[in-house]
Amino acid sequence: MACTANDRDAPPRHCAWWLQRLSRFSRSVITRWASPDFAGTGTARARANLLLGENLSLTQREQFHECGYFTVTGGETGNCYRIWRGYQMNVEEIDKNGKRLHVLCFMPEGHLAQGDVMLAQKIALELFEFDALKIANTMPPHLSRFPERHEA
């Protein structure tokens, strides 16, 4: 969302809203990285990655290994989602050509390791998609921090 000429004098409400979201997001990333469970060598991280790996299909595992994401089909709408390696703002709804439609932000409560967060997101979309979508914050596609991917 671009600011117009009228926005120059005082920060408009929508810019303030985005700044507030950005600040909240930065705080939560810092909190996670400061936690000993997220030091990168912790058993929590290893266990969560193992559990995630055990619960991906072969195709999803290969996709995740090669591209850093895997795709999931929504259990209630049949819509397609891409789950990137990450904790938040890492889920995207995509169209049949792989074009990003929305960015979704939802995760399980508690400071869980990344693998757990991604597995919870996968299962939520497969088994209780409407509930997950109701909870998720939805953002426009250009706010994604991940590269655009299109199917050939």
Partner 1 sequence: MAVQIVMDRNGDTRHEFDFADPKTIARAEERFRELTGKGFRAVALGRDGNPGTLLDKFDPLVERTLLIPQLQGG
- Positions touching partner 1 (CB under 8 A) are 25, 28, 37, 43-48, 50-51, 55-58, 60-61, 75, 88-89, 105-113, 115-116, 119-120, 123-124, 126-128, 131-132, 135-137
Name which of 53 and 98 has its Cβ closer to partner 1.
53
Name which of 56 and 80 has its Cβ closer to partner 1.
56
Q: From the CB of 123, what's the least distance to partner 1, in Å? A: 6
Burial class of residue 32, CB neighbours in 10 A (0-12, 13-18, 19+): middle
Q: From the CB of 7, what's the least distance to partner 1, in Å? A: 26
Name which of 12 and 53 has its Cβ closer to partner 1.
53
How far is it, in rounded angstroms, from Cα 25 to Cα 87?
11
How far is it, in rounded angstroms, from Cα 18 to Cα 3?
12
Q: From the CB of 140, what's the least distance to partner 1, in Å? A: 15
What backbone phi and psi angles, to 5 degrees, belong to 80?
A: -110, 140
In this structure, are residues 85 and 69 in contact, taking their beta carbons and an 8 Å threshold? yes
Q: In sequence order, what DSSP letters do the residues of 4-16 get, joined into one string?
A: -GGGSSS--HHHH
Q: From the CB of 5, what's the least distance to partner 1, in Å? A: 32
Name which of 3 and 39 has its Cβ closer to partner 1.
39
